[in-house]
């Protein structure tokens, strides 16, 4: 295969990646974007094999078949509630793959007896360090998201000192590795430090910040892939890794703004810059006003405008199809019924968008926080389903609250607020919500899917 044809194929694959990433920005085109990106990756794999004149494909074909089988099973069997954990695992395995590629590139060079150029050494070390960090950090994020591990921040006395020593050890190891790449002891130490750094990076970050962490770890996995691309001299891997790294850091910035946290605070949270939700103030509790589905129906039936605010509880109850049906019924009765989506609703970026897209909710009905807040006073009813922290008025009412200043969907300004919730338990961030005690709030206790089903039946 000629060099010019290989270069053209690489360019075509890179264009597929770029266009696919662009199409992923909208739910209406995301499926095409995914297919286009997959096509680009298919081209890249075939061309890389031909370019390197690899003649034995048994292991490669076996890996493709096993990966395809696992991917198909995951797509079919993993519930939407577990999608954040799945994304965390994807980030982690991407980081692990980059670590192994960098390690293999170094081993190949050393086995051939050739010298390892300084730039290659730096690329290998970067792929190992960032890839290892992304791997263990993502596994820890998976544990917190799946509630295998506690979601609260884990802090202890002397944490800054311990993490500072780890960083110094990483820098020292980098210097020793650059000076003597043939000494395998420095390589093993680099791998160990990378894995440890990932754990220490995510440990002090609470569950409420997981959307930010997932976006950041996604960026890390992309940067690690780009570094691995430099290590093996593969231009397309550099391009793909750079795209993932850049898009991940942009998404991280968006998530940080949505949670009123600086990027530096997230990056250095391992150095003790985390505010524990458990240290937040106790909310002055008033009287909770429960309401039955039948009474809620009469209010909804008379409403001319309704905004539905979904959260992770909607995913847990698997109620996306029920809420779509309720929205259609309200619309058929001449009521404006739209959805308000907070950027960090759920447990990963875009979680609610994906969930509602599965229920065929039109994209133009999904309003962003900036669109819905200015007109919140005009809504007759705000229906909060499983959301807690993203509608918590403590963010602009209680200065000592850990979430004070965080932009929220201001559901409390609607004429009437229905909160669909199993109990009075606090949300994922562990902060009490004064919305529950507002004069215009009514609590609809129970499973969200069943409650929505009761409301739908009342309209029949």
How much helix, strand and coil, in percent to the nearest 5, is found in the chain? 65, 5, 30
For the CA atoms of 45, 49, 51, 53, what is the dihedral angle to 10 degrees?
A: 180
Contacts of 357 (CB under 8 A, 6+ apart): 27, 30, 363
**Whether residue 299 sits in one domain with residue 267:** no
Q: What is the reported pLDDT for 274?
A: 40
pTM: 0.78
SS3 31: helix
Distance separating alpha carbons of residues 229 and 223, to the nearest angstrom: 10
Which of the listed residues 275, 307, 333 is the one where a domain comes to its end?
A: 275
SS3 35: helix
**Whether residue 336 sits in one domain with residue 207:** no
- Residue holding tokens 């850091």? 249
* 369 Cα distance to chain centroid: 18
**Whether residue 248 sits in one domain with residue 103:** yes
Q: What is the reported pLDDT for 58?
A: 79
**Whether residue 61 sits in one domain with residue 108:** no
Q: What is the reported pLDDT for 451?
A: 93
SS3 403: coil
90 occurs within a structural domain: no
> Which runs of E-coded beta strand occur in 213-362?
305-310, 336-341
The alpha carbon dihedral of 253, 255, 258, 263 has a sign of negative
**Quick count: other Cβ atoms within 10 Å of Cβ 343?**
22
DSSP string, 10-29: HHHHHHHHHHHHHHTTSTTT
At 431, give phi and psi (nearest 5°): -115, 135
Q: Which of 428, 456, 369 is nearest to 206 (CA)?
A: 428
Q: Using the 8-state DSSP alphabet, how is residue 444 labeled?
A: E
85 occurs within a structural domain: no
Distance separating alpha carbons of residues 407 and 430, to the nearest angstrom: 17
**Whether residue 435 sits in one domain with residue 378:** yes
441 occurs within a structural domain: yes
89 occurs within a structural domain: no
Residue in 209, 360, 389, 412 annotated catalytic: 389
389 part of the active site: yes
**Whether residue 270 sits in one domain with residue 141:** yes
**Whether residue 417 sits in one domain with residue 374:** yes
Q: What is the reported pLDDT for 55?
A: 60
Q: What is the reported pLDDT for 51?
A: 75
Please give the residue range of the domain that contains residue 327. 293-459
Please state the domain count of the chain.
3
**Whether residue 122 sits in one domain with residue 71:** no
288 occurs within a structural domain: no
Contacts of 399 (CB under 8 A, 6+ apart): none
Give me the residues of the chain with pLDDT under 50, please.
Answer: 269-281
Distance separating alpha carbons of residues 366 and 145, to the nearest angstrom: 25
Q: What is the reported pLDDT for 328?
A: 95
- On whether the CB atoms of residues 238 and 230 are closer than 8 A, the answer is yes
- On whether the CB atoms of residues 92 and 142 are closer than 8 A, the answer is yes
Q: What is the reported pLDDT for 265?
A: 66
Q: What is the reported pLDDT for 210?
A: 76
Strand arrangement of the beta sheet that strand 441-445 belongs to: 366-368, 336-341, 305-310, 381-385, 416-421, 441-445
For the CA atoms of 171, 177, 179, 183, what is the dihedral angle to 10 degrees?
A: 150
**Whether residue 194 sits in one domain with residue 73:** no
The residues with which 421 forms a beta bridge, in sequence order, are 445
200 occurs within a structural domain: yes
Distance separating alpha carbons of residues 44 and 307, to the nearest angstrom: 45
- Residue holding tokens 């199409």? 23
Instruction: Give the CA radius of gyration of the chain.
Output: 25
Q: For residue 127, give both structure tokens.
A: 């792929």
**Whether residue 104 sits in one domain with residue 36:** no
**Whether residue 163 sits in one domain with residue 42:** no
* 20 Cα distance to chain centroid: 19
**Whether residue 329 sits in one domain with residue 438:** yes
Q: Using the 8-state DSSP alphabet, how is residue 274 labeled?
A: P
At 307, give phi and psi (nearest 5°): -115, 130
Q: What is the reported pLDDT for 429?
A: 56
């Amino acid at each position: 295969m000629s060099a010019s044809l290989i270069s053209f194929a690489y360019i075509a694959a890179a264009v597929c990646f770029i266009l696919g990433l662009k199409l992923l920005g909208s739910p209406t085109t995301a499926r095409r974007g995914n297919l286009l990106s997959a096509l680009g990756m298919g081209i890249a794999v075939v061309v890389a094999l031909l370019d390197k004149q690899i003649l034995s494909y048994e292991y490669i074909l076996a890996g493709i078949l096993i990966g395809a089988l696992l991917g198909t099973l995951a797509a079919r069997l993993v519930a939407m509630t577990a999608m954040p954990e799945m994304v965390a695992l994807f980030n982690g395995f991407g980081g692990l793959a980059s670590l192994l590629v960098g390690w293999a590139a170094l081993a190949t060079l050393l086995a051939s007896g050739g010298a390892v150029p300084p730039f290659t050494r730096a690329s290998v070390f970067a792929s190992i360090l960032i890839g290892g960090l992304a791997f263990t950090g993502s596994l820890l994020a998976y544990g917190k998201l799946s509630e295998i591990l506690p979601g609260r921040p884990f802090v202890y006395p002397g944490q800054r000192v311990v993490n500072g020593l780890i960083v110094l050890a990483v820098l020292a190891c980098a210097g020793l590795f650059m000076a003597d790449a043939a000494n395998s002891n420095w390589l093993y130490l680099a791998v160990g430090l990378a894995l440890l750094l990932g754990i220490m990076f995510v440990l002090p970050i609470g569950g409420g910040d997981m959307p930010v962490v997932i976006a950041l770890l996604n960026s890390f996995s992309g940067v690690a892939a780009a570094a691995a691309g430099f290590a093996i001299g593969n231009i397309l891997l550099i391009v793909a890794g750079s795209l993932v790294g850049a898009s991940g850091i942009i998404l991280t910035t968006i998530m940080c703004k949505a949670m009123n946290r600086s990027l530096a605070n997230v990056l250095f949270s391992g150095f003790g810059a985390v505010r524990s939700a458990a240290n937040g103030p106790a909310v002055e509790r008033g009287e909770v006003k429960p309401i039955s589905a039948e009474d809620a129906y009469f209010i909804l039936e008379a409403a001319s405008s309704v905004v539905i605010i979904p959260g992770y509880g909607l995913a847990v109850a698997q109620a996306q199809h029920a809420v779509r049906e309720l929205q259609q019924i309200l619309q058929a009765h001449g009521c404006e019924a739209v959805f308000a989506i907070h950027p960090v609703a759920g447990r990963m970026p875009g979680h609610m968008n994906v969930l509602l897209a599965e229920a065929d909710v039109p994209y133009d009905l999904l309003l962003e926080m900036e669109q819905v807040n200015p007109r919140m006073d005009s809504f007759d009813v705000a229906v909060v389903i499983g959301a807690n922290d993203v509608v918590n008025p403590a963010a602009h009412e209680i200065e000592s609250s850990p979430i004070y200043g965080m932009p929220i969907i201001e559901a409390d300004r609607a004429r009437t607020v229905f909160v669909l919730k199993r109990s009075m338990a606090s949300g994922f961030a562990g902060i009490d919500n004064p919305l529950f005690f507002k004069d215009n709030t009514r609590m609809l206790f129970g499973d969200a899917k069943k409650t929505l089903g009761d409301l739908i039946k009342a309209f029949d």
